[in-house]
Structure 1
Amino acid sequence: MTAQTEIFDCVVVGGGPSGATAADDLARAGRRVALLDRAGRIKPCGGAIPPRCIADFALPPELLVARIRSARMVSPKRRDVDMPIDGGFVGMVDREHFDEWLRERAAAAGARRIGGTFEAIARDPDGTAVVRYRPKGAPADAVAEIRARAVIGADGARSAVAKAEVKGGGAARCVFAYHEIVRSPVPATDGAFDPARCDVHYRGAVSPDFYGWIFPHGDTTSVGTGSARKGFALRDAVGKLRADVGLGAAETLRREGAPIPMKPLKRWDNGRDLVLAGDAAGVVAPASGEGIYYAMLGGRLAAEAVAEFLQTGKAKALAGARRRFMKEHGQVFFILGLMQAVWYRSDGMRERFVKLCRDPDVQRLTWDSYMNKRIRRSDPMAHLRVFFKDMAHLLRLATP
């Protein structure tokens, strides 16, 4: 075992958008931070980030590999509904480069990067956390240690940190996602492929309970799907989707799969010295599967909670991360979870859902809430109109 006597203010386990953001914020605040990351893993992800994410986290334009101007919703009966973004865009990033840029930014701010795989957490007699890990490239039985006054667990949906330290941690309900990164084709004259449009397929053959996607990333495109149903053949579904849209012969650059949590955990801290963030805390939006913005926000809130804990010594400060997140986004997560439960349960309901997306009020409110990450109440009549249209489809008073 490699001993280390240096004591950090915080060790962040996991170097994705959430962990890298937490490490960067703490380092910029003058804290001594270690960022422990298992290098080489790329999470399957559509790569979409809204303008608010770009602004809130000072992301430079060169990180964007594409700017999406519209979305196309495809129903089980192959009916297309285009949803243009009026005066805005959705930024697209490539996680292979985006995550590393965030880690490098944290290192430039003063965080110490350490390559390795988390193993366990122990405590010294004085209560200092001892994070044990296997260094990158070391033998399987090699163990090193990092000591810290606080820990942030940002190590993904099946978080080993959460499972070891937080009641109910590591057991979130997940959608299993799989995608293939392919070489982007030449834009089709018939509109079949548009490098400035995201296509979302609501078809049971592509996913029985979620959706399939085609998200352009400039020179490359992510083609993927997800499902919580055990035994559903994700790779076969992606192959079918690629064939259906004319991407079957496109060069495949890499394949990735991972679980994506669909509901925030009820507790994010251990009441002592540790708090969770990102997928480890379950902060991926239901229905849409959007996670980058929420992961980065979760990392920031975890960093704020740890900073307060370090300053005051009061462990209850750690619970503030979840409390602040749910205060700002709990309502949106509830609505999206309800929407997924209702509209995704069958092809018949998905057909009605896609038809509902034709409505101008639905499109405007959808894009407004996505771009700004809040539910606006400036137009109550639009919300009321959407409510009645929604009920008409649910009660089957409207034709699919």
Structure 2
Amino acid sequence: MNDIQDGDVVVVVGGGPAGATAADDLARAGHRVVLLDRAGRIKPCGGAIPPRLLADFAIPPSLLVARADAARMVSPRAQQVDIPIEGGCVGMVDREHFDAWLRQRAVMHGAELVEGRFERIERDGDGSAVVVYLDAGGAVQRLRARAVVGADGARSRVAQQAVRGADQGRCVFAYHEIVATPAVAPPDFRPSRCEVHYNGALSPDFYGWVFPHGDTISIGTGSADKGFSLRQGVQALRAQVGLQHARTIRREGAPIPMKPLPRWDNGRDVVLAGDAAGVVAPASGEGIYYAMVGGRLAAEACAELLRTGRAGALAQARKRFMREHGRVFWVLGMMQRFWYVNDRRRERFVSICRDRDVQQLTFDAYMHKRLVRARPMAHVRIFFKDLAHLLGLVRA
């Protein structure tokens, strides 16, 4: 068994974007960090990242496997709305390589990467946290920690054990297949366009996606309906876009949270980040940017705890996140609950997205991660257009 006695060690559980970012920021600040990661797991993810992420987290463009300059929305009746991404592009990453690069950057700046599976948090004689895990050989190991960052994904074991209210999170289950991009692509396929398919046959409460990754393509869907077959949904989507015969490279599935938890810390020495905290955007399912923001805020909260000894500093991670992004999450949550309920509403939702005001404000918000207030008359116009659609005054 292994005990680290230094009381200023921070143990980060989970090496995805949230955990790797927290470990990197803490290591850069001169703190001793152990990044505990379970090897071999890749989260199903479309891999889209906005320009703000590249800038805020110093991500080299070389990590992008593709650049999307347009998005296509497809309705249940195959109505197509093509939306150009003006003034930039959406970057695409492959999580297998992107996450590994983030972990190695943290190591380069001083974090210690340890392969293992988190088991539990114990307390030693003076009340300090002791992280218990199984190493690569299955042996029980222990790490004594001054602070713990739980970044171990949706249904986080750290959260379940340490943070009150962790059982209040809501999830959808996501599944995708990574396929090889065919040498001869289907006639309507564009390697620089992301496709989002709104159709109850593909998902009764979410959407299906086709996201290009250069040499590969991510084709996936998600749903909170446990009786819905995600594999059948993906097979139907592959056939719909002409990729049913493309070579399948790997298949991945995992729960994806759809609501930030009401509390992210235990008021003592544990703070959550990323999927463990529930920070995947409703309606869009976007999580990489928000995970990395959460990891950064968790690192800053831990650093403040180490500096002052004040456990209340940990609560600042959630407060700061929700102050910056809570309104966006609320709006997207309302949108998902209303527009994704049936195919009739999905049809109208896609029809609304033909509107240039809607397109511009949507992509401004996505690219810059804030609700855009600079065009008040556009918001007014959108309100009345939405109202007309809701009342059935506009044909879908």
1:175 match: 172
Pairwise CA distance, 1:127: 2.4
Q: Which of the numbers 243, 258, 278 marks the counterpart of 2:254?
A: 258
Structure 2 Cα separation of the partners of residues 357 and 187 of structure 1: 31
Mapped contact 2:2–2:143 kept (Cα < 8 A): no
Aligned to 1:399: 395
When the two structures are aligned, how many residues end up with a matched partner?
A: 396
- Given that 1:159 and 1:170 are in contact with CA atoms closer than 8 Å, whether structure 2 keeps it comes out as no
* Identical aligned residues as a percent: 69
Partner of 2:268: 272
2:84 equivalent in structure 1: 84
- Kept in 1, the 8 Å contact 2:186–2:243? The answer is no
C-alpha distance in structure 1 between counterparts of 2:225 and 2:322, whole Å: 27
Residue type of the alignment partner of 2:158: V
Contact 2:199 2:343 in 1 (8 A): yes
Residue 368 of structure 1 pairs with residue 364 of structure 2: yes
CA contact (8 A) 2:10 2:145 kept: yes
Alpha-carbon distance in 2 for matches of 1:235, 1:282: 24
Q: Alignment partner of 2:143: what SS?
A: strand
Instruction: Tell me the CA shift for residue 399 of structure 1.
Output: 1.1
Letter in 1 for 2:154: A
1:219 and 1:137 map into 2 onto residues whose CA distance is 35
Deviations 1:312-364 (A, max 9, x none): 11111000000000000000000000000000000000000000010000000
Q: What does residue 21 of structure 1 align with?
A: 21
TM-score by length of 2: 0.98
For 1:195 and 1:170, locate their aligned partners in 2 and report how far apart those are by CA, in whole Å.
40
Q: Which amino acid aligns with 1:115?
A: E
Q: How does 1:41-60 map to 2 (within 5 A)?
A: 41-60=41-60
Q: Is the 8 A contact 2:8 2:306 kept in 1?
A: no
2:146 is paired with a residue whose SS is strand
Q: Secondary structure at the match of 2:358?
A: helix
- Residue 129 of structure 1: CA displacement? 1.1
Contact kept in structure 2, 1:160 and 1:170, CA below 8 Å: no
Q: Does the residue aligned with 1:195 lie in a helix, a strand or coil?
A: coil
CA distance in 2, matches of 1:238, 1:170: 29
Structure 1 equivalent of residue 160 of structure 2: 163
In structure 1, give the amino acid aligned to 2:283: A
Return 118-127 or 42-51, whichever deviates more.
118-127
Give the equivalent residue in structure 2 for 1:389.
385
CA contact (8 A) 1:187 1:194 kept: no
> C-alpha displacement at 1:177, in angstroms?
0.2
- Change in Cα spacing, 1:257 to 1:378, as seen in structure 2 (3 Å) is same
Q: CA deviation at 1:171?
A: 4.4
Q: 1:186 Cα shift? A: 4.1
> C-alpha distance in 2, partners of 1:128/1:372?
40
| Local SS of the residue matching 1:127 | coil
1:319 alignment partner in structure 2: 315
Please point out which of 337, 340, 355 is paired with 1:341.
Answer: 337
Q: 2:21, 2:13 → 1: CA distance? A: 12
Question: Which amino acid in 1 is paired with 2:210?
Answer: I
Letter in 2 for 1:381: M
Aligned counterparts, 1:82-231, within 5 A: 82-138=82-138, 142-186=139-183, 188=185, 190=187, 192-231=188-227
Deviation digits for residues 92-114 of structure 1 (CA, Å, limit 9, x no counterpart) = 00000000000000000000000
C-alpha separation in 1, matches of 2:186 and 2:202: 25
Contact 1:170–1:280 (8 Å) recurs in 2: no
Which of 325, 347, 366 in structure 2 is aligned with 1:351? 347
Please state whether the residue corresponding to 2:222 is helix, strand or coil.
Answer: strand
Which runs of 5 or more residues in structure 1 are unaligned? Answer: none
User: Over residues 270-302 of structure 1, what are the superposed CA-to-partner deviations in whole Å (9 max), with x where a residue is unaligned?
Assistant: 000110000000000000000000000000000
Q: TM-score, normalised by structure 1?
A: 0.97
Cα shift at 1:4: 4.1
Shift, 1:3, TM fit = 4.0
Cα distance in structure 2, aligned partners of 1:188 and 1:95? 23
- 1:344-387 CA-to-partner distances (Å, cap 9, x unmatched) read 00000000000001000000001000000011211100111111
For structure 2, list consecutive stretches of 5 or more residues without a partner in the other structure.
none
